[in-house]
Structure 1
């Protein structure tokens, strides 16, 4: 297995483990949390915005005719 695929698989497994841990801790939480709309919107919109900024920072203009096909 190439190293790139191995690192993606490792990252995916880590995300799955973190998700399982959060789900398990949520089931054992003593009382419901108060929904704060501003916090929810930040949690929903901030990660995609950060990924978009990272992609834009990595984007290179003036390609030499390279294609994905």
Structure 2
């Protein structure tokens, strides 16, 4: 898994400078027995209160591929 965390000190300056407005998370699961890669996408909204990001944890968008249960 690779991840850039907006609250992590090493990345905070970058995200503050660019004023990121949305966060996207893509989770992939391999299903080798079915020769599939399953994906779930989630997007959150970010606002800034001074130097502090405020993340709305309510999912703005969510999608699955292939459709159906994970």
Q: TM-score, normalised by structure 2?
A: 0.22
Whose relative contact order is higher, 1 or 2, with alpha carbons under 8 Å and at least 6 apart? 2
Query: Higher helix proportion, which one?
Result: 1
